[in-house]
Amino acid sequence: MDIISNRNLLLDAQKRNYAVPAFNIHNLETTKVVVEAAEELNSPIIIAATPGTIKFAGARYLINIMKSAAADSTIPIAFHLDHHENIEDIKESIKLGCKSVMIDASALEYEENIAKVREVVEFARLYDVSVEAELGKLVGQEDDIEVSAADSELTDPNLAADFVKRTGIDSLAVAIGTAHGLYKKDPKIDYERLKAIENNVDVPLVLHGASGVPGKDVKKSIEMGITKVNIATELKIAFSDAVKNYFKKYPEANDPRKYLKPGKESMKKLVKKKIKLCGSVNKGSLK
């Protein structure tokens, strides 16, 4: 099996009322953690990489890692560019074999957002690549993209249908009260807004900023139409905390095969927890 686009994954989730978890990775180790956990639970997965991760690891290296993972796997795996703003970088990754991309032009004015997204969609169609875009602005920081509380903006349900129609996107990331990073207090999710958006568009909806959102809120969001849930910050914390604890016990350790192991184990437990939360267990065979 090869890496695939998000399109059929999210349409299946939409039809069967679950969500596909999207896990941000950074290297071979974190990729293997996600794939192994998903295999054990027979869950489809989306493996996501921000611009910073692409710069850190290299697009060609990462895409080849994903292709190897998919070739050895029995579950559907999509490799997804998360919050990418540079169109030329997106096109380069598509040419290398990436099948799913997010063009984030949400910081631009509405018409500029549409124009930039449309350009990516037209190019992506040549390669059978799915495209996600965002309408509204999530507060917080994702990679090098930072949005202050003053500049945040919730998705307008009345604009959502126009945005989807004019861009031709496959999925829509919505701003309904979540934020990138961790929360100082539980977020207040605007469920009425989510329902209005879901009523106005046909494409699958995406929830960003799910790290730290209470499980009951994630489940309710899925029940109301969310089909993709992004998890990033929590994964990094689980991995790094376990590695830090290892070095506290073994300060002279120098073998990455040993000190990375507890990080992988800790992250794997969290990945499984999020897969179960999304309701994607045993959804590895798409209907």
Q: Cα(66)–Cα(60) distance, rounded to whole angstroms?
A: 10
Is pLDDT above 60 for 214?
yes
51-69, pLDDT tens digit by residue? 999 999 999 999 999 999 9
Binding site membership for dihydroxyacetone phosphate: which residues? 181, 209-211, 230-233
Q: At what angle do helices 157-167 and 191-200 cross, to 10 degrees?
A: 40
Task: List, by residue number, the catalytic residues.
Answer: 82
Angle at 103 between CA 101 and CA 105, to 5 degrees: 170
The amino acid sitting at 83 is H
Dist CA 117 CA 163 (whole Å): 10
CATH number listed for the domain at residues 7-278: 3.20.20.70
| pLDDT tens digits, one per residue of 39-50 | 999 999 999 999
Sign of CA dihedral 281, 181, 175, 116: negative
First-to-last C-alpha distance (Å) of the chain: 17
Q: Where are the domains of the chain?
A: 7-278
Alpha-carbon gap, residue 216 to 234, rounded angstroms: 17
Burial of residue 237 (CB within 10 Å: 0-12, 13-18, 19+) is middle
Residue 45 β-bridge partners: 77
| Strands 45-49, 20-24: pairing kind | parallel
Give yes or no for residue 72 having a pLDDT over 70: yes
Residue 146: per-residue pLDDT: 43
- With a CB cutoff of 8 Å and minimum separation 6, the contacts of 29 are 260, 263, 264
Tokens, residue 118: 């449309």
The per-residue pLDDT for 124 is 98
Residues of each annotated binding site: 83, 104, 134, 180-181, 208-211, 230-233
Residue 179 tokens read as 């934020």
Instruction: Please say if the pLDDT value at position 3 is more than 80.
Output: yes
**pLDDT for 180 beyond 80:** no
Mean pLDDT of the chain: 91
Q: Is the pLDDT of residue 202 over 80?
A: yes
Q: What is the pLDDT of residue 143?
A: 52
pTM confidence score: 0.91
Give the residue-averaged pLDDT of 168-188: 78
Whether the predicted pLDDT of 140 surpasses 60: no
The reported pLDDT for the residue numbered 206 is 96
